[in-house]
Structure 1
Amino acid sequence: MNSGPDVIDCRRADYPKDFLFGVAASSYQMEGSRFGGCGVSHWDTFAATPGNTARGENGSVACDHYHRWPEDLDLIRNAGLDAYRFSMSWARVLPEGRGKANAEGLDFYDRLVDGMLERGIKPFATLYHWDLPVPLADLGGWRNRDIAAWFADYTDVVMRRVGDRIHAAAPINEPWCVAWLSHFLGHHAPGLRDIRAAARAMHHVLLAHGRSIQAMRALGMENLGLVTNFEYAAPADDSREAAEAARLYDGIYNRWFLDGVFKKSYPEEVLAGLRPHMPEGYERDFDIIAEPVDWVGINYYTRKLIAPDGSGQFPALKEVEGPLPKTLMDWEIYPDGLAFFIDRVHRDYAKGLPIYVTENGMASADRLAGGAVGDPARIDFLNQHLARVRQAIDAGVPLKGYFIWSLLDNYEWALGYEKSFGLVHVDFDTLQRTPKASWHALKEALRSE
């Protein structure tokens, strides 16, 4: 194929016949939490607290995917994409987190899944993408061990309704964000900065994952996976201290969740700091955490340069600005990190299981001009990362799919609506969708020949 600023250099013929190209999105970022009887989640209350989100923005309307889903699914189909990785809102299905289900919420996911199938789109479902019902947050949320049982019950409710039509499912998106980012760093709901809360959330999120897998297996579901996010941790300099700091960061961010599911253990260097705060008897939960999965999902965006911060307080880490080109999120563009994690997951954990790149993409300063949106930086980003995907397949890795984050510009959590990850531009005043140059390039790349 000819390369250029508006061309995605891939052809279906270059990939195995069962390889899937898809897009990913999430419920709170897309649907609009004020519609359809959705309950209040801790993201609604977090965003309502001054200072937590850019300009106080929230997901109450978001992209109004709740009403506009047919148009959005048409965008997926018309681009020639094979699959849609979407999430279901716990608060929409069970407004109280437990008990009586919201019929409107279940009906919505019924329509959404059927709409995908009618368009030849494979549904990849995620049970939880961060919108915890407030009544459960009031009971301690991810700090409370009971959340594993609550989550299993929710899984049963929603998958009894739609599980017979789901192509693939994973319980929880990005457990590091659910636990560490939200309970130790405080950047996401519930906005805590507490090592004890973080240690318990780090364990309970995996226990909930295992209980959810069990619940779906009990319904006869197959093709169930684990989706974790990864950041390549590089030492900021050549010192031993920086190397140790990078390894600790890697342990917290990357290996903790894989080790728990595939090795029934946690990295010792991380436990050195968290062990005093872990739930009593946590070791007895590993048989549930390690329930077998059928595939592994890799969410990858960037690398970080890590150094010790000199504080002496665990984890005593700091990020150092790197020299590489950056996205609008100020994240370095480092496609070799994706190649590294594909290899690591295949070699050290999955042991022959299928692997999907379940999220990869970039935020850029996209502007609508003359009815079009040019985003050459995104096209270049996709080309660089797809080249690593192709290399992994050529090396014999059972890599089965690549999902771009995201279908639409949407609510980027605490950063509000100005960080644009979408293949499709959204005017958040009118909610009009405009496919970007990257969407058109992808359509051309994926067309049947």
Structure 2
Amino acid sequence: MTMDVSRKDFPEGFLFGAATAAYQIEGHRFGGAGPTHWDSFSKGPGTVVRAEDGATACDHYHRYEQDLDLLRDGGFDAYRFSTSWARVMPEGTGAVNEAGLDFYDRLVDATLERGLRPFQTLYHWELPSALADRGGWANRDTALAFADFAEVISARIGDRVASTATINEPWCVAWLSHYLGHHAPGLRDIRAAARAMHHILLGHGLAVERLRGMGRDELGIVLNFERALPATPAPEHAAAADIQDQIYNRWFLEAIAHGRYPEGALEGLAPHMPAGWQDDMALISQPLDWLGVNYYTRSMMRAAPEQPWPSVTAVEGPLPKTQMGWEIYPDGLHHFLIRARDALGALPVYVTENGMARDDQAEAGAVADPERTNFITAHLDATRRAIADGVDVRGFFYWSLLDNYEWAFGYEKRFGLIHVDFQTLERTPKASYHALSSALAR
């Protein structure tokens, strides 16, 4: 199966890559990494499928050269990876694990040796347990410690990475994890959520300030967006979609673009915000070099007055769905690329994650996944339309290079272009990998 889109349909210099995250692929038990709140969260009752964790994951720690060969051989231009705070600073502060720094040294050098551009993300969710013990992102001190980590890792590899993102998906770090309770630390506490919603952005601002002071450029943040639409045209459902949009999308985009939080979301969160939060907004909204847009799906929202604020709930939509149960809605990617342009003007944008989970099975050394090929084609087309509409999109990263540890879903949901047998750790490129590789041929 081939794609009816190719490299020549995009501007000269447009980057095609694939993304991963440290805890999801590296194997956290290797190389002196410290414990994280995901290690302990996964052992709670019913929190993670089969109580699985990232102890071994895909063993990228030892197999990174093989994985980078697959990227190079597929004709990709860039590799988006994250650097584990707990691998570099096992207690979150203080002593540095030299073996962790050495690993990221090797990884960046190996990426460059294959002609790939390294795109670093500082934080993709594995908070050191020692910081979680002190309140994690609900505690302002975590944001200060994060800036220290940013300095330590950048001092080692920052001269060779093509760009650095501070935070991956702050909505997941804050709301999903502290109010909905689906991710570590698994809280359902609006006070903790409000503080995490602010402190994660403060951590971003402090890290940017620190890295600028080191002379670093190409700094950005990666926000996740989900299109919120009303389940019916009824006014109460339209209002539900609007407040969902404010909490999920606008809170973070408006903070970095305009130094403000949206009024509807703030109405519910302000009573629980840390004192003096307004004084941090200039730091949070300091100039960036680019924005990362992660996009997967839409949600159909209805009012739920029987529930506490924000009194909304999602209902199942009619479109085809991925293995995650997420509707396939490529127009949402176009929508948010336009919104990014409207908020940030000419700032360059990357699609830093887009992909689908599928129950992929390897048979006779091959994996047929035509739905994923169609998914990628449709979202590349949405990206191309946004470029035609004047958005300065510089690249597209598929999530993910490898089947991996999918957080609360354990090893059950497969997003990868490369199939991983989690017993043998054998890698098998899927049909979508080959189709995308053909589309990227120069």
Residue 245 (structure 1) shift: 0.5
Which secondary structure state, in structure 1, belongs to the residue aligned with residue 159 of structure 2?
A: helix
- Residue 442 of structure 1 corresponds to 436
Residue 133 (structure 1) shift: 0.2
Map Cα deviations across residues 380-414 of structure 1 (whole Å, 9 max, x no partner). 00111111111111222111000000000000001
Query: Out of 31, 39, 45, which is 1:44 matched to?
Result: 39
Q: Which amino acid in the other structure matches residue 367 of structure 2?
A: V
Map Cα deviations across residues 284-337 of structure 1 (whole Å, 9 max, x no partner). 100111121001110000000001112252010100100000000000000000
- Residue 223 of structure 1 corresponds to 218
Is 1:403 the counterpart of 2:421? The answer is no
Any residues of structure 2 matched to 1:65-214 within 5 Å, and which?
A: 65-214=60-209
CA distance in 2, matches of 1:44, 1:301: 26
- Residue 3 of structure 1 corresponds to none
Aligned length: 442
Which secondary structure state, in structure 2, belongs to the residue aligned with residue 60 of structure 1?
A: coil
Unaligned runs of 5+ in 2: none
- Residue 3 of structure 2 corresponds to 8
CA distance in 2, matches of 1:298, 1:419: 22
Which secondary structure state, in structure 2, belongs to the residue aligned with residue 149 of structure 1?
A: helix
Which secondary structure state, in structure 2, belongs to the residue aligned with residue 105 of structure 1?
A: helix
Is 1:335 the counterpart of 2:337? The answer is no
Which secondary structure state, in structure 2, belongs to the residue aligned with residue 114 of structure 1?
A: helix
Give the fraction of aligned pairs with identical amino acids, expressed as a percent. 59
> 1:228, 1:298 within 8 Å by CA — same for their partners in 2?
yes
- Residue 340 of structure 2 corresponds to 345
Query: Out of 351, 355, 369, which is 2:349 matched to?
Result: 355
Which secondary structure state, in structure 1, belongs to the residue aligned with residue 158 of structure 2?
A: helix
Which secondary structure state, in structure 2, belongs to the residue aligned with residue 302 of structure 1?
A: strand
Query: Out of 384, 388, 392, which is 1:390 matched to?
Result: 384
Q: Which amino acid in the other structure matches residue 87 of structure 1?
A: S
CA distance in 1, matches of 2:161, 2:307: 48
Map Cα deviations across residues 352-384 of structure 1 (whole Å, 9 max, x no partner). 010110000000111111110000000000111
- Residue 308 of structure 2 corresponds to 313
Which secondary structure state, in structure 2, belongs to the residue aligned with residue 91 of structure 1?
A: helix
Q: TM-score, normalized by length of structure 1?
A: 0.98
Which secondary structure state, in structure 1, belongs to the residue aligned with residue 140 of structure 2?
A: coil
Residue 50 (structure 1) shift: 2.8
Residue 441 (structure 1) shift: 0.7
Map Cα deviations across residues 13-38 of structure 1 (whole Å, 9 max, x no partner). 22111100000110000001100000
Q: TM-score, normalized by length of structure 2?
A: 0.99
Residue 203 (structure 1) shift: 0.2
CA distance in 2, matches of 1:126, 1:232: 24
CA distance in 2, matches of 1:33, 1:312: 38
Q: Which amino acid in the other structure matches residue 400 of structure 1?
A: R
Residue 266 (structure 1) shift: 0.4
Q: Which amino acid in the other structure matches residue 235 of structure 1?
A: P
Unaligned runs of 5+ in 1: 1-5
Q: Which amino acid in the other structure matches residue 415 of structure 2?
A: F
